[in-house]
Amino acid sequence: MNNETKLKFPGMVLAGGRSTRMGEDKAAKNLAGKPLARIVAARLAAQASPVFINTRNPALSSLGYDLLPDTIEGQEGPLAGILAGLEHIAATLPGATHLVVVPADAPFFPEVLVDRLAAAIDTPEEIAMAAYCGDPEPAFALWPVALASRLRHWLETGENRAIRAFAATCDVRLVDFVEEPQHSFFNVNRPRDFERARDLMGLGQAPKILGISGWKNSGKTGLTVRLVEELTARGYRVSTIKHAHHDFDIDKVGADSFRHRQAGAHEVTIVSGTRYAIMHELRGNPEPSFEDVLARLAPCDIVVIEGYKREPVPKIEARRVEAKSRVPLAPEDPHIVAIAADHPVEDSALPVFDLDDTQAIADFAERLLGFSETIAQPRKPLVSLDTEADLKKRDAIRKMLLTDWDPIGISDVPRVADEYDAYADIVCSMVRGKDITAEDVSRYLFHVATHEMKLSFPELRERCQKVAHAVMAIR
């Protein structure tokens, strides 16, 4: 299809498999903090539009893409998913001639996949199929909508349900991607494949470091534990380092390992089928540096450190009313990048999060460490809105959000309308900060639209920027 105008084909991610080798739905399994299907769909969305996901799992609706179930009951396999996509396109996009299909377990397919496939077809009934070094990759193909009826007949008559078998009856153009990296069509099928995918994404090579700092009883440990739980659930391999200001012992008096240490062993290693531990006795030698401790950790993605106030690493300061001291650390530590508190904080230009808002703090950490595209902003008001002027400003901002920003006209839905009160509160409290800029407000609005409303369209960022500047004008 050699047109001077670049065409935009609809795309579909095949996520309807049973994932028997993975033991769970691999499309929903997190890789680098995102469900695998979301990574693949976002990669496809850069080349095709609109993008759908063929799946039987309703939980994937949270990814922000329309779901297409199979249209033939009892049929399993990718051909049934392809048929569902072709029939949907025929019914809803009458001008579309082809549908590009990729599997949900292939996060590295070429960024030029669609352009190369489209360039290879000359007629409306040709299939353009990817290949690598001469070997077909049948799950990556541009399928003609005109084949829908033939494919339905094929499946209903009990024919071989393999893509290769049906494709052998059609006009197929193979497009070899030999110039692309060898892992371009790598499939994440088993748990060990996730480890390989992590390596290919560059994860685990040099860990990102995030510190949790604060006075005694400021909530450091609780925040660290919740953050580790959240980041681990998002698919990261997380390690921690805890600095103690007092003597400690993880061994048991009288245990064999304790007796080894008492006998003078320099290091004692105890190993079982569940875990192993190495105990190193300093015996009067200086405490190891943070760098030395870090070097002894096994490869991971993120290291969360609790304590180490003086280390030059990005830190989140934890604050509680019941802390030993209420003296803020941020003014004296340029490495503190955000504050997590259980009370209003009005004297800082840094992002301020509710101490218990673990999801928002994790979002912020992902962006800070380079794992995400959008900086998260607090989802609760940073300061209390208690004056008449504040309330009037909040009402004006809420009206502006409803009339000028509402991304897809959903503010008339009761649940969403209620949430606009919270959004207005947050924006109003943000603009009270003396160092807050329109870009800060724009990032927050964009985060709400993409992460909480699960929206994505070209003019969204521009709309957020426009409203942010209008909000700053009434500041």
Give 104-145 as a 3 state SS string.
Answer: CCCCCCCCCHHHHHHHHCCCCCCEEEEEECCEEEEEEEEEEH
Tell how many helices (H) and how many strands (E) occur in the chain.
14, 17
Neighbours of 129 (CB within 10 A): 24
Same fold, 11-200 and 208-368: no
Hey, where are the domains in the chain? 11-200, 208-368, 388-473
Span 109-142, pLDDT tens digits: 999 999 999 999 988 889 999 998 888 999 999 9
Give the Cα separation of 337 and 355 in Å (integer): 15
What pLDDT, on the 0 to 100 scale, is given for residue 376? 39
Give the Cα separation of 211 and 304 in Å (integer): 6
pTM: 0.52
Helix (H) or strand (E) holding 421: helix 414-430
Span 52-68, pLDDT tens digits: 999 888 888 888 888 99
Q: Which CATH architecture has domain 208-368?
A: 3-Layer(aba) Sandwich (3.40)
The fourth-level CATH superfamily of domain 11-200 is: Spore Coat Polysaccharide Biosynthesis Protein SpsA; Chain A (3.90.550.10)
Give the Cα separation of 259 and 143 in Å (integer): 70
Span 175-223, pLDDT tens digits: 999 888 878 998 888 877 877 787 777 655 567 899 999 999 999 999 9
Q: What is the DSSP letter of 456?
A: -
Cβ–Cβ under 8 Å, residues 163 and 138: yes
